[in-house]
């Protein structure tokens, strides 16, 4: 189903602008085009019940808040697909989407969400860790003491663990 057909089918339930945001986020996050309608169905109730309150938004626009809701749903969908894939593999069955195709997508989405939750300095340090820099090397490059660099890395680990992203934490 193409974007025009999707808008036509859902225009009485969700505004075309919101549908366009869902389609764009699904594509940006790498979901196959044939899954866009599934994403809309999964997100529809949350969007219908969503009431933007500028006073509670911490400065976020309505579009930003909607995008966060949509991204969380997409992450849930990807995780559900991977769970189902793993279930069927354990049962010696096959499924169309290979786990190797989903893992990079899920990892990419998890990392994007995690980076958004970090402060600018934490984001900068996280990128250095991703690029295999040690705490010692980071401290030297930033002209910090080792203890400060270690404290920031510990904060990053704590936030990632709090987001249930322990798979991406190297405990060394």
- Residues 11-48 have pLDDT tens digits of 677 888 888 888 888 888 777 777 877 778 888 878 88
Phi and psi at 29, nearest 5°, equal -90, 5
Render pLDDT for 47-61 as a digit per residue (tens, 0 to 9).
888 888 888 878 888
Q: Where are the domains of the chain?
A: 1-117, 118-172
Question: Can you tell me the distance from the alpha carbon of 45 to that of 16, in angstroms, rounded to the nearest whole number?
Answer: 15
Distance of CA 140 to the CA centre of its chain: 32
Residue of higher predicted confidence among 52 and 5: 52
For 156, what's the count of Cα atoms within 13 Å in the CB-facing half-sphere? 27
pLDDT band of residue 150 (cuts 50, 70, 90) is: very high
Whole-number pLDDT of residue 166? 60
The structure's pTM equals: 0.45
Render pLDDT for 61-73 as a digit per residue (tens, 0 to 9).
888 888 888 888 8
Q: Which residues of 50-75 are buried (b: 16+ CB within 10 A; e: fewer)?
A: eeeeeeeeeeeeeeebbbebbbebbb
């Amino acid at each position: 189903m193409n974007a025009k057909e999707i808008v036509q089918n859902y225009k009485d339930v969700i505004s075309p602008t919101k549908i366009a945001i869902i389609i764009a986020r699904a594509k940006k996050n790498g979901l196959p085009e044939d899954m866009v309608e599934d994403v809309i169905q999964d997100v529809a109730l949350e969007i219908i019940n969503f009431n933007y309150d500028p006073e509670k938004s911490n400065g976020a626009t309505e579009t930003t808040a909607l995008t966060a809701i949509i991204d969380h749903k997409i992450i849930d969908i990807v995780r559900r697909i991977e769970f189902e894939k793993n279930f069927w593999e354990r049962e010696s069955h096959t499924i169309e989407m290979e786990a190797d195709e989903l893992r990079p997508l899920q990892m990419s989405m998890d990392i994007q969400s995690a980076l958004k939750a970090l402060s600018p300095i934490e984001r900068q340090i996280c990128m250095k860790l991703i690029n295999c820099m040690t705490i010692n090397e980071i401290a030297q490059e930033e002209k910090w003491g080792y203890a400060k660099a270690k404290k920031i890395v510990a904060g990053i680990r704590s936030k990632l663990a709090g987001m249930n992203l322990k798979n991406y934490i190297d405990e060394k």
